[in-house]
Structure 1
Amino acid sequence: MSNLLLDTIAHAVSEKYHDRVIQHEAGHFLIAYLLGVLPRGYTLSSLEALRKEGSLNVQAGTSFVDFEFLEEVAKGKVSAKTLNRFSCIALAGVATEYLLFGYAEGGLADIDKLDNLLKSLGFTQKKADSQVRWAVLNTILILRRHGQARSKLAEAMSSGKSVGFCIDIIETSIDSSDI
């Protein structure tokens, strides 16, 4: 309940906080879509998440349709391709914040998810660090290449546009020679 209250107040009184959350989620959405993982939905505040999900434990976030990932995790064997996708998507919000603001305030839960997955797969700390470095570098390259698409996507998300509309924004913002 306190997270809901703090997040609601922060969105109401701080345009910077509100913009940071939007940019963070736009980063997740864009990277997922470009890597072939379909975004299912997004929320930009705890209050919005409560309304959509009916739970106090939900924060701003982007959800995905990724049956391949869930199936592999359930089997306890995740392919390198799937792990690379998940790593980039998980770190996309933090990478977006870093590129736009010079540092990241959000994303601890995203980093924890990735860290827990790597541990569950038996990664040593050295191997996990290497995976994270690889994912951060690749995610930043993609975000830099498609900054205009991310910017337009963030604007659409801030207006509460549908997932389909947001995907159309990405498709029309990316030059076909960039793909």
Structure 2
Amino acid sequence: MVLKGTTVLRTGTSQHEAGHFLIAYLLGILPKGYTLSSFESLTKEGSLNVQAGTSFVDFEFLDEVVMGKVSAKMLNRFSCIALAGVATEYLLFGYSEGGLADIDQLDRLLKSLGFTQKKADSQVRWAVLNTILILRRHEKARSQLAEAMSSGESVGFCIDIIERNIDDADV
């Protein structure tokens, strides 16, 4: 019984992280790594401070945050990537149990940029709708990506899965 619950949790986590990974890649932000559990982060990163998550090569975004001027294009990308895990879970299961940290991170960013609550809500709605459209269009790629991530495949292998399962006309 515990194994079944663990499998469901891991499957949900891999689906969630596959959402982040896929959306980031399709929006031009290169994923550089992922973990699906704290134990996995201990073995990969040597730290228990990291929970399940996907990390990115996001120097351009970090530079903009440090300068205090985040472009609308970069904010839109970040918003979609941040909400991709929650959107994936919702599409698959009808609800989302994970992602509170993702939502908090986006909320903190929007507040730090001076967004009013109304403007922040509008940004979140826009990002969720666009992310869901992309996820629906690339369901096969996301599904196969989640399977590969559950098997612990490399980032390069995961990117290859995306490339093999999208049509150039879809991007």
For 1:117, the equivalent position in structure 2 comes to: 109
**Higher relative contact order by CA 8 Å / sep ≥ 6: 1 or 2?**
2
1:57 to 49, 52, 73: 49
In structure 2, distance between residues paired with 1:51 and 1:154: 20
Amino acid at match of 1:166: C
- Are 2:10 and 2:150, in contact at CA under 8 Å, matched by a contact in 1? no
For 1:108, the equivalent position in structure 2 comes to: 100
Question: CA RMSD for the aligned pairs?
Answer: 1.2
In structure 2, distance between residues paired with 1:80 and 1:165: 31
Structure 1 residue 13: Cα displacement:
4.1
In structure 1, distance between residues paired with 2:46 and 2:28: 29
Provide Cα deviations, 1:62-96, integer angstroms capped at 9, x if missing partner. Answer: 00001110000001110000000000000000000
Amino acid at match of 1:125: Q
For 2:87, the equivalent position in structure 1 comes to: 95
Provide Cα deviations, 1:116-156, integer angstroms capped at 9, x if missing partner. Answer: 00010000000000000000000000000000000010111
For 1:129, the equivalent position in structure 2 comes to: 121
1:165 pairs with 2:157:
yes
User: How many pairs align?
Assistant: 170
Task: Give the unaligned 5+ runs of structure 2.
Answer: none
- Are 2:149 and 2:158, in contact at CA under 8 Å, matched by a contact in 1? yes
TM, length-normalised to structure 1: 0.92
For 1:7, the equivalent position in structure 2 comes to: none
Identity %: 80
Amino acid at match of 2:58: D
TM, length-normalised to structure 2: 0.96
In structure 2, distance between residues paired with 1:172 and 1:11: 32
In structure 2, distance between residues paired with 1:132 and 1:95: 11
